[in-house]
Amino acid sequence: MTIRSTGGRIAAYVWLVFAALNILDLVFGITGDATYSLTAFTIGVLLLLGCGIAYTVGLRPALLGDDEAVTVRNPLREARAPWPAVREIVGTNAVTVRFDGPDGRELTTRAWVLQTSPRAQAKAEARARKDAASRVPGAALKGRTPAAYAAQQLNEIRERQRAKTRSGAPDRAAEAKAEEAAATGTVRWSVPALASLLVPVVALVVLLVVGAVT
């Protein structure tokens, strides 16, 4: 299961194409004379910074579920929790995963994708209650936000994996329970995401300093 923001990815790719064309124009002078001035370098660095933002905000965020774990990939950080470590997955105005972390700590991560405003969620719930009272077919589906549907799908994967590991001989069930007690999730920073932002920022600062000195 892989969920990404379609709109965010489209906007990111549009920017990447735009930035690539402009950088090529600066380097090779497609629409005019090529220039290697301080201003041109600054524009190029700003375009690269925009590419870093497009990557971290538009391309990186995702919600992933496989046979082993659930992964919440946000712009700068990534949380991965094996199914035995997951305590709860809920979907309201965003998908939230609560899981056991290192040293017995309980961690909570909120997915960047599929976020819905509280107002939109309240409207969906009110519409579902109204349709349910009128016994309209499909009322539950109408009142379910994308985040709630994603949480439901993840919970179904989680239950399937738990049923699979706990089935079989008693010794296997005991082993599964021990693994469940020992399982922990992790939250870590994304080095590529940080680099895509920090490198252009540092380069921009250097260019500004050079411009101020000269």
Q: What are phi and psi of 91, to 5 degrees?
A: -130, 105
Give pLDDT, residue 30.
83
Residue 94 DSSP SS3: coil
Quickly list H helices, 110-190.
118-133, 139-142, 146-166, 170-182
pLDDT in the model for residue 162: 82
Q: What are phi and psi of 139, to 5 degrees?
A: -60, -35
The one-letter amino acid code at 164 reads: K
The pLDDT of residue 137: 54
Distance CA 105, CA 91 (A): 22
SS3 17: helix
Low-confidence ranges of the chain (pLDDT < 70): 118-143, 166-181
Give the pLDDT score at 92.
86
Give the residue among 91, 64, 97, 96 at the shortest CA–CA distance from 145: 91
Distance of CA 170 to the CA centre of its chain: 39
pTM of the model: 0.83
- The Cα 192–Cα 177 span in angstroms is 36
Tokens of 35: 């220039």
Q: Where are the domains of the chain?
A: 2-60+191-213, 67-189
pLDDT digits (tens, 9 = 90+) for 27-69: 888 887 777 889 999 999 999 999 999 999 999 999 999 999 9
